[in-house]
Chain A
């Protein structure tokens, strides 16, 4: 990615970094690496940041001047050597999901609509490696890319009042995981026993922008077993570094 982003003011205390407007894995990768790099190397200046597909925003501490900070950001940006500094921070997680009753509320509807078996829906959903583009919408909610169009299905006409934490859903061509109990309009195809947002951890969200994940089908008994292990703190999430 040779093209440089624009770096500009976003309100009284914000800085916006923008690449060309499209959902593109290469753009997103570079954006995420730079954003994580800048957030660490300039942590004294900022009170947080947000990453999306092609833009990230930095929110400066109140006493920091935006104009001066933009100059510092540009300078830091030009100094960064990403290949060396940030390759190791991207992780692939294996996410166990039970695609059975009582969790898979809408999987049969999708199978019927797509004229394929439920097993085929599961196979398609577990086949791919999904990039985590960013966390938004709810605390810990991952925006995942790359779902197969073969199982794409529109959002429910009216949202459910309550979706359980860990629920795995499909909305249009997107798939995602509900980290906490909330109302929601996604089609629920299963549930993961993992805790995706733990307020007691230093980094509450399990996933971050730039990570990847693969879903793995488990049966109900295994779900219960992992759920217990997660509760007691003995479950070890399977993960490896993404190269």
Chain B
């Protein structure tokens, strides 16, 4: 068992998300950075879609009753095990009665903690991912007890260490497809949309990322139509919004572009603020 000493700013349980319920209005949800999510489970040879902890801004402090292994990845953050600094992107042995303290995230946005065997968390609609309507309990709170699946650690060369997922957090180049409503734009508007240098604006979260430094373009509202994580919406007032994992399943703004999976993962780690550049690259 693990006890939550401090939950951190916004720490939730996440996995691959709720597939197969989107026609019933259920957002897919799941880890923001799938690359880092798969990596932490891979390092421990967990099941591919085992639940992990995702945190942002300030990470949690956890107390481990028994000995086990953990893996940390995603953003870069201050982390100590029993007062000593430990590495990310490699399996870490945690002795019994240990305290793991994760401090401030200083590079990127979302950090991930996997435990050997994976967290044992209730599933609602085939997923343990936090959702305010379906699974509000999958959010870390002070004093909460977290169980995990007991299993033996197999150390191999294969999973002993990996290179970090994102080497550059400050320049995010997003590969994009033309969206279903791309052709609502004139050639000139398309060029402005693609060639602009953006940044991630405040008020970005697990539902949507808002872009700053937008060009002077806009698109009329559309009749409500399907959207998915990675859909880039252009509003009548000229805002650009990129839908993220917790977005609704349908939307009424023009879908001008669609990010690739890889671009979604990179964007999730692009920090808020004008000094970090985000650009589109049409494929």
Interface residues of A (CB under 8 A from B): 8-14, 16, 18, 21-23, 39, 47-57, 59, 134-141, 143, 179-182, 197, 199, 203-205, 208-209
Contacts of B180 in A (CB 8 A): 8, 10, 16, 18, 55
Contact of B223 with A51 in the complex, beta carbons under 8 Å:
no
CB distance from A144 to the nearest CB of B (A): 13
Q: Are B259 and A21 in contact (CB under 8 A)?
A: no
Chain A residues with CB under 8 Å of B86's CB are: none
In-complex Cβ contact of A47 among B19, B222, B224 (8 A) = B19
Q: Is the CB of A48 within 8 A of B223?
A: no
Kindly provide the distance from the CB of B179 to the nearest chain A CB, expressed in whole angstroms.
8
B261 within 8 A of A: yes
Question: A138 contacts B133, CB within 8 Å?
Answer: yes
Can you list 29 A-B contacts with CB-CB less than 8 angstroms, sorted by A residue number?
A9-B177, A11-B231, A11-B260, A12-B261, A16-B226, A48-B22, A48-B23, A49-B23, A50-B22, A51-B23, A53-B223, A53-B225, A55-B225, A57-B226, A59-B19, A59-B22, A134-B23, A136-B25, A138-B133, A139-B21, A139-B26, A139-B134, A140-B24, A143-B224, A143-B250, A203-B24, A204-B21, A204-B26, A204-B125
Most chain A CB within 10 A, of B20, B22, B248, is at B22
Decide: B22 and A204 in contact? CB cutoff 8 A. no
For A11, the closest partner residue in chain B by CB is B258
B226 and A55: CB pair below 8 A? Answer: yes
Q: CB of B228 within 8 A of chain A? A: yes
B25 in contact with A208 (CB, 8 Å): no
Cβ of B159 within 8 Å of any chain A Cβ, yes or no, is: no
A209 to B260, CA, bound (A): 28
- B124 CB within 8 Å of chain A: yes
A199 to chain B, nearest CB (A): 5
| C-alpha gap A163/B208 in the complex (Å) | 23
Cα of A16 to Cα of B180 in the assembled complex, Å: 8
Hey, which chain B residues are within 8 Å of A55, CB to CB? Answer: 180, 225-226
B249 at the interface (CB under 8 A from A): yes
Closest 8 CB pairs of A and B: A57-B226, A205-B24, A136-B250, A50-B226, A47-B19, A11-B258, A135-B25, A48-B20
Question: Which chain A positions have C-beta within 8 A of B212?
Answer: none
When chains A and B are docked, how far (Å) is the Cα of A99 from the Cα of B224?
Answer: 29
Decide if B125 touches A52 in the complex (CB within 8 Å): no
Residue B91, interface by CB 8 Å: no
The answer for the CA separation of A135 and B248 in the assembled complex, in Å, is 11
For B222, the chain A residues whose CB sits under 8 A away are 21
Interface centre among B24, B28, B124, B180 (most CB of A within 10 A): B24
B contact residues around A182 at 8 Å (CB)? 133
Which residue of A8, A39, A204 contacts B24 across the interface (Cβ within 8 Å)?
A204
Residues of B within 8 A of A199 (CB): 124-125, 134
CA distance A14 to B23 in the complex (A): 14
Residues of A within 8 A of B133 (CB): 138-139, 180-182
B230 at the interface (CB under 8 A from A): yes
Residues of B within 8 A of A8 (CB): 180
Q: Whole-angstrom distance from the CB of A163 to the nearest CB of chain B?
A: 12
Evaluate contact between A137 and B26: CB separation under 8 angstroms.
no
Contact between B19 and A208, CB atoms less than 8 A apart: no
Q: How far is the CA of A136 from the CA of B88 in the complex (A)?
A: 39
State A179–B21 Cα separation when bound (angstroms). Answer: 15
Given contacts A59-B22, A180-B133, 5 further A-B contacts (CB under 8 A): A12-B260, A23-B223, A51-B23, A138-B25, A143-B224
Picked from B20, B225, B259, the residue with its CB within 8 Å of the CB of A11 is B259
B22: A residues at CB distance < 8 A: 48-50, 59
Residues of B within 8 A of A56 (CB): 226
* A33, B248: Cα distance in complex, Å: 23
- Chain A positions within 8 Å of B25 at CB level: 135-141, 179, 205
Tell me, rounded to whole Å, the shortest Cβ–Cβ distance linking A54 to chain B. Answer: 6
**CB contact list, B230-262 vs A, under 8 A:** 230-231, 248-250, 258-261
- Give min CB distance, B282 to chain A, whole Å: 13
Q: What's the least CB distance linking A69 to chain B, in Å?
A: 15
Given A59-B22, A135-B24, A52 contacting B224 (CB threshold 8 A): yes
C-alpha spacing A9/B178, complex, angstroms: 10
Q: Which residue of B is nearest A61, CB measured?
A: B19
- Which chain B residue has the least Cβ–Cβ distance from A36? B23
- Quick one: given A21-B223, A134-B250, are A10 and B24 in contact (CB under 8 Å)? no
Question: A54 contacts which chain B residues (CB < 8 A)?
Answer: 223, 225
Q: How far is the CA of A135 from the CA of B224 in the complex (A)?
A: 11
Q: Which residues of A contact B23 (CB under 8 A)?
A: 39, 48-51, 134-135, 208-209
Residues in A neighbouring B125, C-beta threshold 8 A: 199, 204
Contact A136 B260 (CB under 8 A): no
